[in-house]
Amino acid sequence: MSTAEMRQVRRPGDYRSDVKPVWCPGCGDHHILLSFTRAFAELGEPPENIAVISGIGCSSRIPAYTNCYGFHGVHGRSLALAAGLKVTRPDLTVVVASGDGDGYSIGGNHFLHACRRNLDMTYVVMDNRVYGMTKGQPSPTTEPDFDTALSPGGTGLSPFHPLVIALASGANFVARAFSGEHKETASILVDAIRHPGFSFVEILSPCVTFRPDERQWKTMVRPAPVAATDDPGRAARRLMTDDGFNIGILYRGARKPYRPEFGRATADLAALEKEFEL
């Protein structure tokens, strides 16, 4: 019997905690939680072999709603925490959850370097193009004409393009999903987790409270017209004509994941003292 056959059949409910989500009814994050648990069940990993790491924001509450290991970390630093965990416990499946504010603003620098380092983990950004938890300020992905009391006349700033940045920075798997299509999103998450190296999945997740216009996303998203490519140049050209609503896997790279040597020091104490001698 193979290892896969020996794995216990698991159901999405096996990965849910008893904590009830506080997200607003209609929020896309509810769907993403369904996608997480469905993906974990399909992978068949026991909950204790999965770690869900997050930062701060509505999206980052998700570890509490799973019964996997979780860490609700500091703002923008989820990737740093996850990298440390993956280096020391490479046997764990590490999934990082963030939002567009947490992940692209204060955590933007970590995003670039996590893509570059290519540790074997999956980074999920639940993008609603607004800071929902702090009452609706524009985020890095907000459109320039988002006109509110907090951004009169709009910010006038070009939005951040997450997939372009991920691809250019060296992510080994790049995809976009839509929360409302939770089963398809689960399928993308399964592919992302199984793919070696750093996988980045942006999930469009409507904020129905501060961006009620985003309820229309369900009529705007569409399956990407072309299949995933392993050619970063071709993937980049596809992004040139991307309007942000093509759903699917864009890029699957073949770069070897970063696996640092880890374990006991091989040099003896005298040799180490000599190395650090002033």
Closer to other proteins by Cβ: residue 123 or 146: 146
Q: How far is the CB of 70 from other proteins (least distance, A)?
A: 19
Closer to other proteins by Cβ: residue 7 or 89: 7
In the structure encoding, which two tokens stand for residue 78, read together? 């989820």
Q: How far is the CB of 169 from other proteins (least distance, A)?
A: 28
Task: Note whether 46 and 18 are within 8 A (CB).
Answer: no
Closer to other proteins by Cβ: residue 19 or 271: 19
Q: How far is the CB of 12 from other proteins (least distance, A)?
A: 9
122 CB neighbour count, 10 Å cutoff: 24
Q: How far is the CB of 33 from other proteins (least distance, A)?
A: 10
> If we measure between CA atoms, which residue out of 133, 147, 123, 150 comes closest to residue 24?
133
10 Å CB burial of residue 180 (0-12, 13-18, 19+) is: middle
Q: Which residues form the interface with other proteins (CB under 8 A)?
A: 20-26, 28, 30-31, 135-136, 148-150, 178, 180-181, 183-184, 206, 208-210, 215, 218-219, 221-223, 247
Closer to other proteins by Cβ: residue 116 or 222: 222
What is the helix (H) or strand (E) element at residue 275, kind and residue range?
helix 269-275
What is the helix (H) or strand (E) element at residue 13, kind and residue range?
none
In the block, tokens 């500091």 appear at 74
